[in-house]
Structure 1
Amino acid sequence: MSGLIGPVCVVAPSVTDQIVIDQDATGQDIVVEVWSDVLCPWCYIGKTRFHAALDRFENKDRVKVIWRSYQLAPETPVGEGRAVVDAMAARRGTTPDQLGEVLDHVTATAAELGLELNYDTALASNTFDAHRLLHLAGDKQSDLLDALFKAYFRDGKMIDDREELVRIAVSVGLDADTVRDQLASDAAADAVREDLSMARQFQVSGVPFFVANRAIAVSGAQTEDVFLQLLAAASQPA
C-alpha cells in the first residue's frame, strides 16, 4: 500500500489490479471490506466504532459492508479448550501475569463502548468454522459476528464447537438444521481461504483492516472520525 493520508492509506494499483469486486447494483456503490477475527478484541472494538461512524455518515445508504476472514491463531487445535490467556502468553513467549497490563487496557477500552471482555473465562478456539458460517449467513452476517464476539468474549463459549456455533446461529435467526448440515460439509471453506489469500495480497499484518472500494484502507480500531474520513474519501468520484 502507498500514499498515506493520516491513518487512511491509498491502496497501491498493483494490488487492486489483481482483485475484482462487484459493486451492488442497488446503489450501494461504497463497498467496505473488513478483515477481522472473532478472537480479536480490537476487531470487536473496531466494528463497534465503525458502525457508530456509519450511523453518522450522510450517505450511509450507499455503503455495503462485507466481513472478511482472518485467523490470528490458525494453529489452535479444534476443541482444545485452553484458557486464552495461557495460549496468548505461549505465543508471545511471556507469562499470563505479564499480559495483565495489555489485557487491562483493551478491556477498559471495550468497556467504554459497552462491550464486555472476560479474559478470565475466554477459551482459545480455532475460528475457521466460525468464518465459514459468517460466509454462509447472508444478510445476517453482521448480526452473527456480533453474536460470535459476545459468545467468545462475554460468555466464554467454545466457538470451534459446532453445536455451539449452531446455537449462536439460531440466536440471530438462522435455521439450526441448515447450519448443522453446512458445518458438517466443507461449505464456504474455499471462501475463507480466498479471504486469507486476499489479506496476503493486501499485506495485512494485523486486524481489523478496512478497505473501501479496493482503493483506500484503514488499519486498526480507529476513532469514529477516522472511519468517517475513510467513508467520505470513498464517496468521492474516482
Structure 2
Amino acid sequence: MRIEIWSDIACPWCYIGKRRFETALDGFAHKDDVEVEWRSYQLDPSLPYHYAGTETEYLSQAKGMPAEQVRQMFDHVTQQAAGEGLDYDFDSIVVANSFTAHRLLHLAKTHGVMSQAKEELLSGHFEKGRNIGDAEYLAEVAQTVGIDADEARRVLSTDEYTAEVKADIAEAQSLGANGVPFFVIDRKYGISGAQPPEAFAQALETAWGESQKLTVLAGAGSSADSPAPGKGGDETFREGAVCGPEGCD
C-alpha cells in the first residue's frame, strides 16, 4: 500500500499530523507493507528567503489578524503539539521560505533518507529555532541523515530538484488539495488535515481491505455470451469449467 503525504516544513499542523499518522501506522498490522512518500507543498511561495520579523508579526500581517489572536492560535497549536510529544517554540521560529529545504528533501529521497530529513527539518523549525532557508543549516541536516554536506551545498547552489518540487505542488493542486497535511492512499483515498490517530487507523484498515479484494474477470454470473474483457483488450475470458460443492461441470 502506498501513502503519499503532501506537507510544508513551515506548517505546524503538518508536524502534528506526521506524529498522529505515525502513531496509527505503528499500530497497523500490515505496516511493513506500507510505503510512505513525502511530497512537497508550500503554504506561501511568496515568502522571502528570510523574513526579518517574528512568526507572530508575519502571520498578523499576512492574514490581517490582530497579534493577540495569532498568539492565542499559537497557544492552541502548541498544546496540540505537546499532546504528540512535540515541544513547539513559536517565539524562536525563524520565518523563511521553505522551497530550498524542499529541494534538500528531494536530494534526501535519492539517498533513501527523505523521512529522516523531513523529521530533522520540522524539529529544527518548530522546536529549535533553526533557519530552514539557510544553506549551511540545510547542509548540517544533510550530514545528520548521512548525506555528504559538500554534496548538499553543491546541489543547493544550483537549481537541482526545482522541477521536482514544482511538480509535487502542481500535483497536489490537481488532486484538489487546498491545504496541508494532505494524505493520499493508493490514489483512491484522500485525507485532509492532522486527523486523530484513530481516524488514520480506520483509513489504513479500510484501504487495506479494499486492496485485498479480488476483481473477478470471469466466473459466477459470466457466460460465453457475455465475456469479460481480457488483458490488453485482444483476448476474452469466458466461463470456464469448475468444481464446486455440488460436483464438477
Which TM-score applies when normalising by structure 1?
0.85
Alignment map for 1:169-184 (pairs within 5 Å): 169-184=142-157
The offset of 1:81, in angstroms, is: 3.8
Which residue of 1 is the match for residue 79 of structure 2? 108
Contact 2:56 2:71 in 1 (8 A): no
Which runs of no fewer than 5 residues in structure 2 stay unpaired?
Answer: 214-249
Which residue of 1 is the match for residue 183 of structure 2? 210
**Using the alignment, how far apart are the partners of 1:187 and 1:99 within structure 2?**
36
**Using the alignment, how far apart are the partners of 1:88 and 1:165 within structure 2?**
24
Alignment map for 1:37-186 (pairs within 5 Å): 37-138=8-109, 139-186=112-159
**Using the alignment, how far apart are the partners of 2:85 and 2:193 within structure 1?**
19
Percent sequence identity over aligned pairs: 41
The offset of 1:157, in angstroms, is: 1.2
Provide the aligned length of Structure 1 versus Structure 2.
209
Contact 1:170 1:176 in 2 (8 A): yes
Contact 1:31 1:65 in 2 (8 A): yes
**Using the alignment, how far apart are the partners of 1:220 and 1:76 within structure 2?**
22
SS at match of 1:33: strand
**Using the alignment, how far apart are the partners of 2:99 and 2:52 within structure 1?**
15
Which runs of no fewer than 5 residues in structure 1 stay unpaired?
Answer: 1-29
Q: Give the aligned CA root-mean-square deviation in angstroms.
A: 1.1
**Using the alignment, how far apart are the partners of 2:203 and 2:161 within structure 1?**
29
**Using the alignment, how far apart are the partners of 1:135 and 1:203 within structure 2?**
23
Contact 1:84 1:122 in 2 (8 A): yes
**Using the alignment, how far apart are the partners of 2:61 and 2:205 within structure 1?**
41
Deviation beyond 3 Å, 4+ runs, structure 1: none
Which TM-score applies when normalising by structure 2?
0.81
The offset of 1:100, in angstroms, is: 1.8
Look up the equivalent residue of 2:136 and give its one-letter code: E
Which of 25, 31, 44 does residue 2 from structure 2 map onto? Answer: 31
